[in-house]
Chains A and B, each alone.
Chain A
Amino acid sequence: AQSVTQLGSHVSVSEGALVLLRCNYSSSVPPYLFWYVQYPNQGLQLLLKYTSAATLVKGINGFEAEFKKSETSFHLTKPSAHMSDAAEYFCAVDHGSSNTGKLIFGQGTTLQVKP
């Protein structure tokens, strides 16, 4: 069965520093992987997704993630944090059932950006 683990429920960085949010998955089939962001009091919106076309995926707002099959990881990075990046980030993997679109979400990581 598919599952997702996000390492670290809270990450704090200084403005301008590297952002690294960790996500590991388990999947019995080649996975489709997603990162979503949730700003305070809002719904989730897609940052980026991996669908096997390329292992390095670029998303919105300068974020990118690299799919590493050998490490079963899909970590999210951004070279330089901005105050507006403060939010909760969720990694998700598709359920594996054909044509239902179901996703399994990690527990989430709250990113704090300090001035």
Chain B
Amino acid sequence: NAGVTQTPKFQVLKTGQSMTLQCAQDMNHNSMYWYRQDPGMGLRLIYYSASEGTTDKGEVPNGYNVSRLNKREFSLRLESAAPSQTSVYFCASSDPLAGLTDTQYFGPGTRLTVL
């Protein structure tokens, strides 16, 4: 099993450009999450999807959109990138229905720089 995979690993954008970060998991998990990690701020939840066909905002959703394409895939889109979106982005998945709260499994991250 590959676990959680993310593409691309690195990306440099100019202000105003758009891009989509891809995430896929092969663990048959119901829930998927997108976080951003900034120095000194831990991980902050951008969006999550509790199950296929549903998405909800997290703590910092402004400037982002998501799509839960199917049970395996959860993409994050930046429509018009801004320097404030320079960050490391992590995708994670879990299966909270398997227990009251289950472990989240993380991808390796995407390092995004917006100039």
- How many A-B Cβ pairs are below 8 Å? 63
| Interface majority SS (helix, strand, loop, mixed), chain A | loop
Count of A interface residues, CB-CB < 8 Å: 23
Known A106-B42, A107-B40, A107-B42; contact A101-B108, beta-carbon cutoff 8 A: no
Say if the beta carbon of A51 comes within 8 Å of chain B. Answer: yes
Residues of A within 8 A of B99 (CB): 51
A32 to B111 Cα, complex, angstroms:
30
By size class, the interface of chain B is 20 to 34
B75 at the A interface (CB under 8 A): no
Judging by beta carbons under 8 Å apart, are B108 and A49 in contact? no
Are B40 and A51 closer than 8 Å at their CB atoms? no
Q: Are A100 and B96 in touch, CB under 8 angstroms?
A: yes
Contact between chains at B100 and A32 (CB < 8 Å)? yes
Distance to closest chain B CB from A2 (angstroms) = 11
Q: Are A102 and B108 in contact (CB under 8 A)?
A: no
Question: Given A43-B90, A43-B106, A44-B90, A102–B45 Cβ distance below 8 Å?
Answer: yes
- Determine which of A9, A51, A90, A94 lies in contact with B43 in the assembled complex, contact meaning CB atoms within 8 Å: A90
Chain B residues positioned under 8 Å from A46 (CB to CB)? 103-105
Chain B neighbourhood of A90, CB < 8 A:
42-43
Task: Report how far A61 CA is from B100 CA in the complex, Å.
Answer: 25
Instruction: Provide the residues of chain B in CB contact with A108, threshold 8 Å.
Output: 40, 42
Shortest C-beta distance, B35 to chain A (Å), equals: 8
| A107–B90 CB distance below 8 A | no
Within B21-58, which residues are at the interface with A (CB < 8 Å)? 31, 33, 40-45, 48, 50, 56, 58
